Copies of this chain bind each other. A is one copy, B any other.
């Protein structure tokens, strides 16, 4: 990073800050998801958990947390809410009783079909050509790698 002095009048406003772009865009995406997910009785984080389970049932809490970047203190109550709503079941792993494996119920599996239209709706709402979306994905992935690296070293 350059160390050059910025003029005294340089005062970043939230609207010009990249971190705010991420914050606000993520928020706006959540607003678009909200009515789509409400039909299924899901919140956005709950939907992410189900998407992950649809790619592979029987994951442990830890594996889910690794995929989604969430702690057990977040996942445990979230998963219990999903269990209360009947979309999954929690079961201790027989060969290692420390682990809790999450299994979809029939209702949870069938929900995949009912959610199939959602990615298309979201992609449409983005309103950008596919090439831009690809570039965005790549930029954000590289950025995330860099952010993680800068955290490790400190």
Give A residues with C-beta under 8 Å from B.
1, 11-29, 31-33, 35, 48, 51-52, 54-55, 67-69, 119-128, 132-133, 135-137, 139-151, 154
Q: Of B33, B67, B121, B139, which one neighbours A128 at CB under 8 angstroms?
A: B139
Copies of this protein in the assembly total 2
16 A-B residue pairings within 8 Å (CB atoms): A1-B124, A13-B51, A14-B51, A14-B52, A15-B67, A18-B126, A18-B133, A19-B26, A21-B136, A21-B137, A23-B48, A28-B144, A31-B147, A31-B151, A32-B151, A127-B146
Please report whether the interface of chain A is mostly helix, strand, loop or mixed according to DSSP.
Answer: helix
> Which B residues touch A11, using CB under 8 A?
54-55
